[in-house]
Structure 1
Amino acid sequence: MGIGSALSAARSMLRPRTAADVDADRPHWAARAEDVKNRLVGGALRRLHWDLRLQPFHGYGSAHEVRVLAKVLYASPRTAADFHDQPVHDMRTVAVRGWRNFTSQVAPHRTVHILLGDQEFTVRADRSGIVDATLEISLEPGVHQAKLWTVPGNEVTADITVVPPEARVGLVSDIDDTVMVTWLPRPLLAFWNAFVVHQSSRQVVPGMPMLYQRLMREHPHMPVVYLSTGAWNVFPVLKRFLYRNGYPDGPLLLTDWGPTHTGFFRSGPEHKTRSLERLAAAYPDIRWILVGDDGQHDPSLYAAFAERHPDLVEEVLIRQLTEPEQLLAHGTLRPLAVSRRGGDGPLALAAPDGHALLAALQRHGKMSR
């Protein structure tokens, strides 16, 4: 650092902090209100002798680094330590209605221990009770199990998919209206689907499981990542839906619906953009097949990612919503435009379901018949 730069930095440090500086550092009022609520409710639950429970999520990584995801929650003393650690085919412990997944109370800033392989790590949950830890560790390709606990006796296990180094193609898939019919982002229907509808009544988009299975056969080492703006609260329901309908297993990258440092709600497009960039950094040798729908921001987000990383996008596949879905989504019957790049750019295809997308890939020579 030069003398001039050093003097400027010193003056900046010595300058009295203004009201604007303080306001810029303060979290949004909604986040502050949520923090107060969490302290009051958490204190009351502790006085009632409620315990901490961990809800593990499916993580991912490479041979030298993995991402572990989980959530710290309060639970009554009668709640089994492994309540959130059930296999996807076990229907006994899953809430029947979606709203039950939103009634739990998070436990912010708790210390969480992680045992992965023969190494133990100590991390800390954030203000929303979310554990999102990147750990440096050498693991063989395949699915590993990380053991997580806050205190001895409440251990759970989280799946960690380590992608093999020979993988050259990966799949990133949206969930809502791409693999599952939900008619988001209509506020009333979104509420109905998330909080009321019985999980077994959610409808699969025709042909999409078959399309993904065919892609898996075409690319045997292909990692599959499900990227959605849905809340972590519905992770068990989404995981079970994917399993019941024959979709390939893989990590789910969801988000927290609560307030943030800067606003009342988290930005869905920012979450997806940030997640795509993390995947690009984690797997620089993988070209991604990006699958979404034209009911939200997927076409523009995927196009922007392809502009930034033209060498990391294999294809963009967009499921076109039906006319009723378009009308409910946008108030118009006009579907969103999907750009189709020519030359050496990634191929972008749009079709109403998985059957038609598969046929389009075959016509373009991207899939065997």
Structure 2
Amino acid sequence: MLEDAYNERKSAMLRSRGWSTRIVPLTGYGSESQLRVFARVIMTRGEQDDPEEPTHAARLRAVELETRGWRAFLTTPAIDEVVTIRINERITTARTDRGGFIDLTVRGHGLTPGWHRIFVGSPNAQTIDVPVLVIGNDVTHGIVSDIDDTVLSTSLPRPMIAAWNTFLRSEGARKAVPGMATMYRELLAEHPEAPVIYLSTGAWNTSPWLTRFLRRNGYPKGPMLLTDWGPTNTGWFRSGQEHKHAQLHRLARELPHVKWLLIGDDGQHDPKIYTEFTSRKPGHVRGIAIRELSPGEQVLSHVIPVANDDLVPAPTEELDVPVVRAPDGYGLAPQVRAIWASDPADGPSAPGVSRG
């Protein structure tokens, strides 16, 4: 591909000029038996640690500066770079792909349930610690959350506005959807061991930006499952729906004991995607919560002032799990709490919660 050839030539040129590489940490997750490790390696002018700060803090600050706004999409990936992953005393190696990413499954990692730090390095980059979440075998509750228009108010699908938001504005200019962060924190207060997985069609390039946004607005930390290129749902040579389907089915395989609360919005295809997944894997879903966009938000999302789900409704009434809707987290919270407290195997819905 032209893009691959361009990146390879640019990477070689930068190396010849003395550039090195930098590792961008991405949060991983896994079960007690296997761990999914993410990271990206990009070209950089050189590792310049601030002597006034701890080395690790300086590296993270440098990563954030290099991946803010438009810079995230102009970084040069380090292709076919050898990457070393150290988990306790175990060493595993991998090579980056065409985008400079690694997505590696490590079996028999030996970590206990909870949050850990593993170490990722390469011959031309300083080692950095990367967060990973190990989900215990006794965990039964989990949240899969969309990002755009679900936790973050955005006009992403409109190319011109998306470009403005992505390349020029900072995360501080974006707005959190009212009540969603509070709802997530309340759910985790009842089941603190429950993982929160953020599933989006956004690009991996935006991961540092999204991490800052979630942290700043009080959302629980959690792994993000993003795509390899493009800032919009219409995207550049990728299918957002296919990405979400694949990741949901992978979560079902990797964590069969977790029943997920699937949270999304009706601006794009979340009702359809979640319905199709639930129909195929009913034992893996606790319920579905859909944020309803306003007519104005629908216009920004896909030009017309009604939801895609209104035009071609997903057959949620055929599902045997609760499906709830509201315009924000404050409206969803009481309905979702009832789902969270119930067990899908119990049969009838909790009071006040409809099925389908």
State the TM-score, normalizing by the size of structure 1. 0.83
Alignment of 1:1-80 (within 5 A): 32-77=1-46, 79-80=48-49
Partner Cα separation in structure 1 for residue 117 and residue 65 of structure 2: 21
* Counterpart residue number, 1:188: 160
- Alignment of 1:134 with 2:102, yes or no, is no
* Counterpart residue number, 1:23: none
| 8 A Cα contact 2:82 2:94, kept in partner | yes
Q: Secondary structure at the match of 1:57?
A: strand
Aligned alpha-carbon RMSD (Å): 2.5
Structure 1 stretch 175-184 or stretch 144-153: which is displaced more? 144-153
Shift of 1:198: 2.0
1:339–1:364 Cα change, 3 Å:
farther
| 8 A Cα contact 2:181 2:219, kept in partner | yes
- Alignment of 1:359 with 2:334, yes or no, is yes
* Counterpart residue number, 1:282: 254
Structure 1 stretch 317-326 or stretch 75-84: which is displaced more? 75-84
Letter in 2 for 1:116: I
* Counterpart residue number, 1:22: none
Out of 89, 95, 105, the residue aligned to residue 76 of structure 2 is: 105
Q: Secondary structure at the match of 1:271?
A: helix
Partner Cα separation in structure 1 for residue 221 and residue 42 of structure 2: 25
Partner Cα separation in structure 1 for residue 338 and residue 85 of structure 2: 48
Letter in 1 for 2:12: G
Shift of 1:85: 4.8
| 8 A Cα contact 1:166 1:221, kept in partner | no
Partner Cα separation in structure 2 for residue 280 and residue 362 of structure 1: 22
Q: Secondary structure at the match of 2:126?
A: coil
Alignment of 1:192-341 (within 5 A): 192-257=164-229, 265-335=237-307, 336-337=309-310, 339=314, 341=316
Q: Secondary structure at the match of 2:212?
A: helix
1:146-192 C-alpha deviation (Å, 9 max, x unpaired): 11111276101111100122110110001111001012211112111
Shift of 1:331: 2.5
Letter in 2 for 1:105: T
1:332–1:343 Cα change, 3 Å:
closer
1:46-75 C-alpha deviation (Å, 9 max, x unpaired): 111000111110000111100000011110
State the TM-score, normalizing by the size of structure 2. 0.86
- Alignment of 1:348 with 2:319, yes or no, is no
1:106–1:366 Cα change, 3 Å:
same
Letter in 2 for 1:52: T
1:217–1:363 Cα change, 3 Å:
closer
Q: Secondary structure at the match of 2:202?
A: strand
Letter in 1 for 2:336: L
1:306–1:84 Cα change, 3 Å:
farther
Partner Cα separation in structure 2 for residue 327 and residue 339 of structure 1: 20
Shift of 1:138: 2.3
Partner Cα separation in structure 2 for residue 216 and residue 102 of structure 1: 34
Letter in 1 for 2:82: T
Which structure 2 segments of 5+ residues have no match? Answer: 50-54, 343-349, 352-356
Structure 1 stretch 90-99 or stretch 137-146: which is displaced more? 90-99
Out of 145, 156, 164, the residue aligned to residue 128 of structure 2 is: 156
User: What is the total number of aligned residue pairs between the two structures?
Assistant: 331
Partner Cα separation in structure 2 for residue 44 and residue 83 of structure 1: 29
* Counterpart residue number, 1:6: none
Shift of 1:360: 2.8
1:319–1:344 Cα change, 3 Å:
closer
Shift of 1:142: 1.0
Shift of 1:314: 0.5
Partner Cα separation in structure 2 for residue 269 and residue 92 of structure 1: 30
Which structure 1 segments of 5+ residues have no match? Answer: 1-31
